Amino acid sequence: MPFQKFIDYLQLEKNYSKHTILAYQKDLESFLEFNQTHFEENSIQQVNYSQIRSWIVSLVEEGLSNRSVNRKVASLKAYYKFLLKTKQIEINPLAKHKALKTEKKLEVPFSPKEMKEVLNDMQFEDTFEGCRDKLLIELFYATGIRRAELINLSVSDVDLGGQTIKVLGKRNKERFVPIPSLCSTLLKEYLAKREEVVNEASADCLFLLKNGHKIYESFVYRTINKYLSKVSTKLKKSPHILRHTYATHLLNNGADLNSVKELLGHSSLASTQVYTHNSMAELKKQYGNAYPRNSKK
């Protein structure tokens, strides 16, 4: 593979998930194939910006959204940054490229009522699988961790006495996230039922399938979608929306933005600020209900 060293770099140094690395690989292969077809160019390192621009135009003409095109170009840009870093090229042909304009994507969090209906009112089976599924939802909502972070949790990462979990985030950055009493109680129950299925291969993996194997990304997504679909008509029902819900509900209830940043494992405050949109909407609603001059009486 012409970019194997870059793939190794993403995996070993950047600690990206398999899903993300595969996306990068496909984007680079797509660009290489385009250049081989249209410019008889077999090396991504040798292309210029006009060739890249032709690729971008072709993607748009194929009907890809600006957001999808930007994601593909971002893969290419990351590769050129790697080549610069390893001194394989002297100039980044994408250094002055400006991303295509996109509409701001607003992700709608679940309401407190919807979360209550899932976690308080819904009946989960009194089995290993029922307990695990409820804990998946509870832990996402109680901690705001990412899907990959949850999948890679170990039993040793759980501190029931201190009511915290140790999370290994992006770029191998560790953080400790508090868990509420209800979540801690459910964790104890799950750990007891987990003994029914655990085996040597998955001895320290926290979340398991009923056959004792470690859970995986699509399984987590299907589980979240399955249960949230019973209480919500929102189009998007995913682990990320639960993370979004966690942050929004914290901010709505007065949590400090910097504290939420640390809990989410964000490296910059700008990443956390995207969650303030819904909090501002809630604040305006409360203002409208409470401010005397808004009264129609």
Catalytic residue set: 146, 170, 240, 243, 266, 275
Q: What does the block give as tokens for 109?
A: 């969090």
Helix axes 49-61, 66-85, angle to 10 degrees: 160
Residue 155: which H helix or E strand, with range? Answer: none
Euclidean distance between CA atoms 231 and 122, whole angstroms:
9
Nearest to 257 by CA among 270, 239, 238: 270
Q: How far apart are CA 88 and CA 94, in angstroms?
A: 15
Cβ pair 194, 154 in contact under 8 A: no
Integer Cα distance of 158 and 188 in angstroms: 10
The C-alpha atoms of residue 114 and residue 32 are separated, in whole angstroms, by 46
**CA 161 – CA 164 distance, rounded (Å):** 8
The two tokens of residue 195 are: 């003994």
Q: Taking Cα atoms as reference points, which of 144, 177, 130, 173 lies closest to residue 158?
A: 177
